[in-house]
Structures are given as C-alpha cells and as structure tokens.
C-alpha cells in the first residue's frame, strides 16, 4: 500500500532521514523487521500452507550496514502539469504511481513473498522534486505492507516522524518493551482464536468447496470489468467546508427527527466524523438510474478493533481491521429515502452491536479461504445483486500532515492506492 502527499516547496530530505533514524532507534522492534516466508504456520496446525512472519531484531544496536528502511530521492524531469492541473481539480485521474515510490522498488516489495525473497525492509520512503512553472513541489510516498499495518497502524509511523522532526514528544506504540527471543503470536490473532472458540456454532460460513466453486465466476467478472470496461483510478476532492456544511445539515435533520434522544446525543460526534453520510451520497449517485431501483446492495464497512477487549490493542500498530456485514439495502432506499434515514440505519448497527462475533466470523472465512491456496477467494454468495466494501481512514488524520518543520509548505492533497498487477474494478476512498 502506498500513501502519498503533494507538498508545496522542497522538503529537506536529510532532515527527514535523520528523523526516520531517530524513530527507528526508539521503535526498531517493529520498524526494522524483515518479512520471512515459512513452510507452514509454526504456531498452529490450522494452516498447512506458506505463511509469513516478521523477524524483529532484539533490543540493542543494529548490525553494521543493516537497513531498517529504504529511502530514495530524485528530481523528476517531467513537470507536474504532465500529471495534474494546479490547483488540483475536484475530480482527476490518479497520479503516476512511480512518481511516489520509484521504479526500482516496485517489484521488490509489491507482495509479501517478494519482500521475503529480496530481504527488503518493510517500509520504503521516496521523495521526488517536481517543478511547475517555476514553483517547486515535493511528491512524498510511503510504501508499506498492508498485511502488517492497517490504515490506523501505519499512521503511527507518520505521526511519529512528524513529531520527531518538529521536536515534539511521541509515545512509542506497542511493543515498547523488551520481549524474550522466540516465536510470538500476533496478540490480535490470539484474541480472535479465543473468540472463535467461543463463537455460536449456529453461525456458519462457506466451506472450502463452496468457495472453490465461486472462483471461476469471480475470475470472469473481475477480468471482464478490468479489461472490457476499463475501470479508472480517480481522485475526488470534497472541500472541507463543503463536506462539513453538508454533514451538519444532515445531522440537524437527524437531530430533529430521531426519536431516540439519548442515542443521538451520545453518538453525535461519532456520526459527525463517520462514513455513513458520504457513503449514502456515493451510492445515491451511482444508483440514480430509474431501471436500477430494485437492486439489492450488500455493504461491508471496515471496522478497526482497537477499542475492543478493554483497549488491550489500542497502541498496537499491526493489522487489526475486519469487515462486518451490514443490513441489506435496496437501490430504492438509497435513491429515494432521506440521507439521514439511511445514515441512521447504518450508524445504529455500527455503534450498537458488539464486533466480537463478526470478527470471529471474518476470521473463520479467512481460514476457509486460506485452505484454497493459491486461489484464496472471499467470494460473495449471491445474496445481493451488488456488494460494496467501504474503507474510512479519516481517524488516522494524515490527509494534511504538516511538513513545514521539514522545509515544506502547504499539503495540496494526498492519495492512497494499493499495488497490484490487475486493478480492482471499483475502489473508492
């Protein structure tokens, strides 16, 4: 996964590298690791297939010449106008990926297996200096493994870096204490296994055979949408004032019509910064065609589990996301019902239910999918006409990282994209 920013001015690469060195020296138990491929999951017999683990250096000095991260910087001979207009328009195509990660790094870390084979550090930074009509810009890219860090976890790295070159204190995320040598299970995995064992057996998931039968359909549709329809990777910018005003208006309507006053008051702030209103508006635009009004829509909305289990994982940067299911909607609902009504329906489910059972079910789905290597498809069951996944990382607060302490100016925009050989048909963030 790549996170990238376009910043006015030229950032001081040496200052950023110096700050990165300090971040790693304080937190090298996680950041200086290397991905390794094993013949099987040596912590469990549940997975007889190839697995990946992270070898973390012990506390102390790193070996001479050991790279805890990779860093590259260069001047781009191509002006920024070749990629985008300035000011950046509200709707534009995704910028050239190699401008943010470098040509020589892409193939070495695109997959965990590639990183393991090449012995590549798990984090790579790239800064490209671009000139546009006499104005200089910095294109900053952070490439990391999404298998190790989720959307909030990798933001710990960014905020630590910004605090370091700004001279501010920051708390080292877990694990922040010496751990004995040996094999250690991901604490999230340990908790999921416990929930899995206690889960209601009446909830079932698809078997490996069921999922295998879904693969031909999945492959055909995926290739058809990719090569026939040609999906575009676009960036949509909603001005902060526009978004805030629109959400405030929807909340005012919800406040006047929601009968459950206690629920409304206790969850007002969460609704104010949540994804329900933008999600509804996005679906409303897509299904505005009269002929599509009888379609059923399944939603998988990303959830982060750091607040669960009494906050045991609050400071853990590792992958802690899952995708709980939401009530089935119809295209008639999203196109004709008031926005506050649909948003309330989604928010009530997200805020009112325990995530344990959904997390355990998602865990079981991955167990079944893993037995189908190399296919590993979490296919849909055909219960709905369309299935959507929604990811929201606004809580990470990295869209407008302050790079001024490193010599940069305003942050114009930021992008996020995954590296894959075949793009997903639809990806919205």
pLDDT score of 343 more than 60: yes
CB 407 within 8 A of CB 15: yes
419-427 own/partner pairs: CB under 8 Å, 24+ apart? 419/1, 419/2, 419/97, 419/101, 419/106, 419/110, 419/143, 420/110, 421/110, 422/222, 422/223, 422/226, 423/226, 423/231, 423/233, 424/231, 425/221, 425/222, 425/225, 425/226, 425/229, 425/231, 426/231, 427/233
CB 223 within 8 A of CB 309: no
Pairing of strands 234-236, 91-93: antiparallel
Alpha carbons 357 and 192: distance in angstroms, whole number: 10
Asked if the structure places residue 187 within a domain, the reply is: no
Pairing of strands 70-75, 296-301: unpaired
Instruction: Tell me, yes or no, whether 391 and 403 share the same domain.
Output: no
For 85-118, the pLDDT digits (tens) are 888 888 888 777 778 887 666 556 666 777 777 7
Question: Which has the higher per-residue pLDDT, 79 or 246?
Answer: 79
pLDDT score of 49 more than 90: no
Instruction: Tell me, yes or no, whether 13 and 57 share the same domain.
Output: yes
Alpha carbons 279 and 219: distance in angstroms, whole number: 27
Question: Which has the higher per-residue pLDDT, 308 or 88?
Answer: 88
First CA to last CA distance, the chain? 13
Asked if the structure places residue 429 within a domain, the reply is: no
- Mean pLDDT in the chain? 75
Instruction: Tell me, yes or no, whether 50 and 113 share the same domain.
Output: yes
Instruction: Give me the pLDDT at residue 110, please.
Output: 61
Instruction: Tell me, yes or no, whether 234 and 358 share the same domain.
Output: yes
Asked if the structure places residue 424 within a domain, the reply is: no
Instruction: Tell me, yes or no, whether 167 and 213 share the same domain.
Output: no
Asked if the structure places residue 377 within a domain, the reply is: yes
DSSP string, 173-192: PSP-S---SS----HHHHHH
Asked if the structure places residue 372 within a domain, the reply is: yes
Instruction: Tell me, yes or no, whether 240 and 114 share the same domain.
Output: no
Asked if the structure places residue 217 within a domain, the reply is: yes
Instruction: Give me the pLDDT at residue 168, please.
Output: 92
Asked if the structure places residue 114 within a domain, the reply is: yes
413 CB-contact burial (10 Å; exposed 0-12 / middle 13-18 / buried 19+): middle
pLDDT score of 44 more than 60: no
Instruction: Tell me, yes or no, whether 268 and 389 share the same domain.
Output: yes
Instruction: Give me the pLDDT at residue 208, please.
Output: 47
To which H or E segment does residue 225 belong? none
Asked if the structure places residue 10 within a domain, the reply is: yes
Alpha carbons 345 and 48: distance in angstroms, whole number: 41
Instruction: Tell me, yes or no, whether 310 and 373 share the same domain.
Output: yes
Tokens linked to 48: 């007889």
Range of 161-170, 213-222, 248-257, 342-351 with top mean pLDDT? 161-170
Alpha carbons 88 and 412: distance in angstroms, whole number: 8
Q: Which domain holds residue 242?
A: 198-395
Alpha carbons 195 and 179: distance in angstroms, whole number: 25
Of the candidates 268, 271, 287, 277, which has an alpha carbon nearest to the alpha carbon of residue 243? 277
Tokens linked to 427: 């990806």
Of the candidates 119, 192, 178, 187, which has an alpha carbon nearest to the alpha carbon of residue 366? 192
Domain of residue 131, CATH code = 3.30.559
Which residue in this structure is represented by tokens 């963030």?
429
Instruction: Give me the pLDDT at residue 43, please.
Output: 42
Q: Provide the pLDDT confidence category of residue 357 given band limits of 50, 70 and 90.
A: low
15 CB-near residues (< 8 Å, 6+ apart): 165, 406, 407
Instruction: Tell me, yes or no, whether 137 and 204 share the same domain.
Output: no
Q: CA of 203: how far to CAs of 71, 196, 200, 206, 216, in Å?
A: 47, 11, 6, 10, 26
Tokens linked to 103: 């040509």
Instruction: Tell me, yes or no, whether 169 and 222 share the same domain.
Output: no
Number of domain units in the chain: 2
Instruction: Tell me, yes or no, whether 372 and 411 share the same domain.
Output: no
Instruction: Tell me, yes or no, whether 319 and 279 share the same domain.
Output: yes
């Amino acid at each position: 996964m790549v996170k990238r920013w376009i910043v006015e001015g030229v950032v001081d690469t040496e200052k950023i590298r110096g700050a990165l060195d300090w971040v790693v020296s304080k937190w090298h138990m996680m950041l200086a690791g290397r991905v390794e491929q094993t013949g099987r999951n040596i912590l469990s017999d549940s997975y007889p297939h190839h697995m990946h683990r992270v070898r973390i250096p012990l506390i102390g000095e790193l070996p001479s010449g050991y790279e805890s991260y990779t860093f590259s910087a260069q001047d781009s001979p191509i002006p920024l106008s070749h990629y985008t207009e300035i000011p950046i328009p509200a709707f534009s195509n995704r910028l050239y990926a190699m401008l943010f990660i470098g040509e020589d790094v892409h193939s070495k870390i695109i997959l965990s297996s590639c990183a393991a084979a090449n012995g590549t550090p798990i984090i790579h930074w790239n800064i490209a200096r671009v000139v546009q009509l006499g104005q200089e810009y910095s294109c900053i890219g952070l490439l990391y493994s999404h298998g190790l860090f989720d959307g909030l976890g990798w933001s710990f790295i960014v905020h630590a870096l910004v605090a370091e070159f700004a001279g501010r204190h920051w708390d080292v995320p877990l694990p922040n204490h010496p751990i004995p040598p040996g094999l250690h299970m991901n604490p999230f995995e340990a908790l999921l296994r416990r929930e899995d064992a206690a889960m209601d057996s009446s909830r079932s998931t698809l078997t490996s055979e069921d999922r295998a039968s879904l693969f031909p359909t999945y492959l055909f549709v995926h290739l058809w949408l990719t090569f026939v329809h040609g999906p575009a990777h676009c960036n949509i910018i909603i001005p902060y004032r526009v978004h805030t005003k629109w959400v405030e208006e929807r909340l005012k309507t919800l406040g006047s019509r929601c009968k459950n006053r206690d629920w409304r008051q206790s969850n007002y702030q969460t609704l104010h910064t949540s994804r329900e209103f933008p999600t509804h508006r996005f679906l409303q635009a897509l299904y505005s065609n009269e002929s599509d009004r009888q379609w059923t829509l399944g939603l998988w909305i990303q959830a982060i589990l750091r607040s669960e289990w009494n906050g045991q994982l609050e400071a853990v940067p590792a992958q802690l996301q899952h995708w709980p299911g939401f009530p089935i909607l119809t295209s008639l609902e999203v196109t004709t019902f008031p926005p506050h009504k649909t948003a309330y329906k989604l928010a009530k489910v997200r805020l009112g239910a325990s995530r344990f059972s959904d997390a355990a079910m998602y865990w079981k789905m991955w167990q079944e999918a893993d037995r189908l290597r190399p296919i590993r498809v979490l296919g849909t069951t055909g219960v709905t006409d369309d299935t959507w996944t929604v990811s929201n990382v606004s809580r990470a607060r990295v869209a407008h990282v302050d790079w001024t302490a490193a010599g940069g100016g305003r942050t114009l925009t930021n992008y996020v994209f995954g590296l894959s050989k075949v793009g997903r048909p639809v990806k919205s963030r």
